[in-house]
Amino acid sequence: MTGASSGIGEALACELGHRGARVIISARREERLAQVAERIDRVHILPLDLAETGTLEDKVKEACSVWGGIDIMVHNAGMGQRSKAVDTPHEMLRRIMEVNFFSTVVLSKALLPQMLERKFGQFIVISSLMGKFGGPGRCAYAASKHALHGYFESLRYEEWNNGIRATLVTPGYIKTEISQHALRSDGSEHGRLDPGQAKGMLPEVCAKIILDGVEKGKEEILVGGWEKWGALLKRWAPPILSRILRGRDID
């Protein structure tokens, strides 16, 4: 599991542990991973940096050697954004795509051979409502999440008969640190919790909903409060959603 040091990732790691799973937790902050590990019975810490894609295949080999293979891969780590398209530097766009999308692809492709050999594997991909529709100040972030949907839906169809499953999770407002660490156009952090997230669902509640959905075999799981209905508006009444989002502040 990536992004296990806080937020949804931390909650999912703990909930998986409570449900009897052996869990490998990854993130950049090794000290935070150690704190999370104290709450899980069978756990292994594997620090990694998703921005260093050249190291990820070796990290997968290391992970597979811990307990003889990976049954479920949770792609959770990601980077947020708060900048208009006109102000977003190319370097930031590439960085967000590298962390949110390309690193996920590298990890998945490295895991697939051993999953295909055993005819079993599950990818749980934490996307966002921004994977369903764009929003002000989220051009790069929304692009990376849309890419995840396209990639893992295709992978699901290709490998279904080989026992490979992919669940796309589209959270709305969850009370995590992602808005605080979101990047502004100058590369600085947003530095504060957005109002919607401040009132959002607790990560622990979110984690239980996600894993219950996975156990039921759902291919996509919407999580959140009223805001998750934006996905339905996008599908059934896109002009209404457009009127809601036009000209809104990027925060």
* CA distances in angstroms from 203 to 5, 9, 14, 186, listed in the order given: 12, 8, 11, 29
The answer to whether 127 and 144 have CB atoms below 8 angstroms apart is no
Total residue count of the chain as it appears in this document: 251
Task: Give the contacts of 221 (CB within 8 A, at least 6 positions apart).
Answer: 167, 168, 169, 170, 209, 210, 213, 214
Task: Give the contacts of 236 (CB within 8 A, at least 6 positions apart).
Answer: none
User: Which one is catalytic: 141, 151, 157, 173?
Assistant: 141
Active site residue 141: yes
Query: Which residues are part of the catalytic machinery?
Result: 141
